[in-house]
Chains A and B, each alone.
Chain A
């Protein structure tokens, strides 16, 4: 038995209710049968139904069952988004089992959920090398490349997927992601819609369509897409997050809060989700709760720069300038090339009355993000005006 979308000579698409991830689990079954060298290769489906008094299991089948149990528990943990535990289970597998496409894809997914895109990419690249025919999971691979803005890698993957199997919903998602990275949102949408046509219960394709509509500011259609995704997979937290994002942008902060909380209920170990919830709470005039959420976000992932950035923003709005300054100073060390950080530093220094440092940081911001030049220039001009006014007063 093989994964449904794995191989080229797959039959024309029959729509089943089987979820795409579960069908991938068929591969280790095949592998495990190879392990049992003494016993004849067992096919799960050909096995006789269990008799009331089972024969004592042979050593080989015992080993196979143990392996399956471990794979299943890893997958179970991953589905509960206990990514760290899942990773530990998958890493405890024997070396030759770890080097299978399915396990590598699960490893990649676990890293992906923890925003460790570099590690996730490594796992997926290895999976692609070992099992180039595995299309199931490629959609996540492409999303990782999208996050890392690897245009060339993503184009290559898209070309490869399309050449291999045009009728795979996963391949369509890869191509859609590729166009999305090029900011061709309308073309990307066409491919995501095609993926939905090929597999009408593919929740992730709905979510990706939602993201594209949202990028085009078409909130109504985006909401419909996210809702469809949730209809097919209630535990698809990305769609809940998408809805939260849309309500946030529409300034309906109560709804945003509610939807982000729903996403967090599904995936309670996601640092970015806590960060977004913190932003929604802050926008909803609940700075204390927002700070709590942002602290959790930072606890979960020390490397989350956005959470620190937002924490500084909340502190700034609460007039705790000194605390904001310490937070931003840590942040500058983590992300020394980010213009927005310097821009905020400039703001904080200005509030503290340290105009020379404010000017230094604003000019740095100007160098790093020329796109916001207008805004930064205005801030610098304001600063100069105030300086001049003060000098006149002194005279």
Chain B
């Protein structure tokens, strides 16, 4: 074997081992046949025993979606998606809903163990309460009792629709309306489950809340819906993580997340997204088309998004803030890493309506091999947004010479007292940086990891401690084989 072949073999080994969540779980599932029409939407709602208003809302969304054109403005090349070939509902077979861990299929628990997510309350994952969504439905939520003591509601969306219909009816679709965009409309029609969080007035949520999403079944889509409401003076920190098996076909993930922060409330929302990115030839992988938006409704409210996007074959998401309340704050901290043939088009929108509002955008894009990484941001200062301030820092790091980094910032200012700053850099991992590290005894792979984590430091610092360690490891794993 020639040296080049050997090197290729090594790289392939790295790549093959690099996605360690690619297993599937053999579990009996109830999956409805592929296809999408009114009957399917109705069936989903009936299966979940939803109140009437929710079914009507879904149907309204579906009928609108049918008329919408597919968006094509992103800098992405997407193979056409056959929406009739997707199954819109799949759940592990189990009688009734899960009410406690003892009732959960041991195979499911095993899956989450493999993912490194201990669901058993006795495992006490540093006091983090976990909700786990497997394919379409929420499997189990931990620490419910302890949270209930504080008055915090943390449950699957399906449960919330039955137990707290008035809250759902009041808030659902108020931040991301059904007509917002193509994928949001689709999600509104067919969403299967997700997470619901409610923090009452003046309550500081006693632990980190966390949801793990897992797509297991083939030919299914995952459409989860997350709704977080922070009442006046409350605080919550929420983290979501995502993985999926390795499959040759692309799978669609179209989620919607809505956050509502009332007066003096703060929501910190972190994402570690590690959906299967496809193989080195771009085969398979998750289409991650997500709409996330927060409404800083009350004065002095704060919403901060932190995202580590390492997976998915295509990522299309712009976690945004509407800064409605005076003196409210929106933040966006992002790391998007693409390798092989992955594409990411991600960024944020900061819509400033209130006076003295502040926003900060820190975006770090890393592109390796032939991947394409785009930052797209919009900062709007409305007429009434007097003395609003925005700071944007947008940095790109290229690894190798075939990768692409693109930046599309858009700024609209409609008053004369707002202040905007925008900084952007593009750099490349230089061979001399690698040589320097390797001369100090550090292997090339580790050197790339160190350089990248240095590049991402400001964003990693935003993550809760235990997840920052995980995120660093994830960046490293997803960069394996990036040079060769």
A and B: partners? no
B residues near A (Cβ < 8 Å) are none
A residues near B (Cβ < 8 Å) are none
